[in-house]
A = this chain, B = another copy of it.
Amino acid sequence: MRELEQRILAEGRNLGNGILKVDSFVNHQVDAVLMNSCGQIFADLFRKHKPTKVLTAEISGIAPAVATGFHLGVPVVYARKSRPITMPDEVLLTLSQSHTKGGTVELVVSPEYLRPSERVLIIDDFLASGQTILGLARLTNAGGATLIGIGTLIEKEFEGGRKALEPLSVPVESLASIRSMDGDQIEIGNGEK
């Protein structure tokens, strides 16, 4: 998606260690109009696979996931990173390596919102190593639901996430793809879109 690529080139900052700061339009400040456009594209890409639910991880996946859910007309579930008091005692839980935080984080979903009948589309902000998305795929599986596809705003090709997701055998779509980051030089790749 040309607009997203241009924003990354104009406003993204390489903080080193593979971390791309996009706090001005994705991760802290959100460009709500851009997110809506991204949600529209994800909806158009995946509608044919008949998703009944969008799944993401808090926090920064929420904005693109809700935009996608809106355009598909389906509910969005965001996995929590700790079990809030409103959640039942029995939950679906998996551990995932966190790239930006170091160590492992929990991903928790209430089983009442991931039923076996659901067809799940995973949406997240980044595809880096793929560990968070693999965690969301495990939760989908644990709930007995069917994963139908994966969409991310920004793929960092050099972190190998796409390869890590191959065993899931579902379509993986990224709206902007980064081939490399070297100092101030961010090079856009030719990913999926």
List chain A positions with a Cβ less than 8 A from chain B. Answer: 15, 19, 21, 23-25, 27-33, 35-36, 54, 58-59, 62-63, 66-70, 73-78, 80, 84-87, 100-101, 109-110, 112-113
A74 to B32, CA, bound (A): 7
| A66 in contact with B35 (CB, 8 Å) | yes
Chain B proximity of A153: nearest CB distance (Å): 14
Q: Which B-chain residue is minimally distant from A21 (CB atoms)?
A: B86
CA distance A29 to B28 in the complex (A): 21
Distance in angstroms between the alpha carbons of A145 and B100 in the assembled complex: 30
Contacts of A101 in B (CB 8 A): 85
In the complex, how many angstroms separate the beta carbon of A124 from the nearest chain B beta carbon?
14
| Chain B, residue nearest A72 (CB) | B32
Interface pairs (20), CB distance under 8 Å: A15-B86, A23-B87, A28-B78, A28-B80, A28-B109, A29-B75, A29-B113, A30-B69, A30-B76, A30-B77, A32-B66, A32-B67, A32-B73, A32-B75, A32-B76, A33-B69, A58-B58, A59-B80, A66-B66, A67-B70
